[in-house]
Each structure stands twice: as structure tokens, then as C-alpha cells.
Amino acid sequence: MRIVCDTREKQPYAFPGLETITKALPVGDYAIEGFEDGIVLERKSLNDFVNTVIGDWPRFVECLKRMRRVEYAAIIVEAEIDDVVTHRYESRASASAVLGRANSISVNWGVPVFFWSNRQECQMMAASMLSLFWERKQRQQRKGGEQCGR
């Protein structure tokens, strides 16, 4: 498994023990090579998330349309929900507007939004999600191969 990091990612995650390559992705910041239409993860700092879902919503809707075509897509926010509730971001948007938009993305677009407390946790969880997807695909391929061999 090789993790693909999008060329536009300014502060890419490090995935110890996993090979990482950099190339342009049509959507998202991280994927698995060969499965770019299978799994994509979009990483956001809290300020970037708020600015994107509140101030840049029309452009982000286009991104969500592309994400919806992927087998599994998720948005990872490097913050806790409490950071939103206590307004630890640089925007006049209310916490209820930000959380409402996050819920809308999950419910209306089918793209879960995960709030994990910090960059290190997000990096760990992203590696886990990518690895789990890879393992599932490998199991599916083995099962398909077994059926063909019968």
C-alpha cells in the first residue's frame, strides 16, 4: 500500500512505516495509490474548515460532489467539537452554524466529518482508516480470486 498525498497539501502528514508519494488528486488530500476513487480523506485545520464551510460554501459544494462519487470519503478536522462550541476559530460564524454545516455534510452529502483533537491524532486515525480500507480491498480481491479458482 502506498499513500498518495495531494500536491496542494501544505503540511502533509507523515505516515511512519508506510510509503507515501505525492501527486495531484482530483479530490481530497490523501488516498491509496490505485484506489483514488475508492477512498479519499480531506484534512482541515479548524480555521480552514470554518472558512471553507461558511465563507467558501459554493466552491466546497463542488468538492463534495466529487467526494460523493468516491466509495469512501471523509473530512478530518484537527480540532475537538469543544473548540467549535467555545469559538476557538477566527470567524464571526456561530458555533451552531459551523456544527450545522458539519452535520449537513454528513447527512446530506454522505461524507462524515470527524473532529479529532489534534494533528497527531488525525494523522494516526487517517493512517488507520487508509489501512483498514486497504485490508478490506485485499480481502475482497482474495475472495474474488478464490471464487474464480473453484
**Cα–Cα distance, 90 to 32 (Å, whole number):** 33
CA distance linking residue 66 with residue 89, whole number of Å: 27
Enumerate residues 6+ apart whose C-beta is below 8 A from 78.
43, 44, 45, 46, 116, 118, 119, 122
> Which segments in the chain show pLDDT lower than 50?
148-150
Which CATH number is associated with domain 2-149? 3.40.50.10130
> Which residues make Cβ contacts (< 8 Å) with residue 43, sequence separation at least 6?
9, 13, 29, 30, 76, 78, 122, 126
What's the pLDDT at 145? Answer: 61
Please give the pLDDT value at position 144. 80
d(CA 1, CA 92): 42
Give the three cell numbers for residue 71: 466509495
Q: What is the pTM of this model?
A: 0.92
Q: What is the pLDDT of residue 148?
A: 45
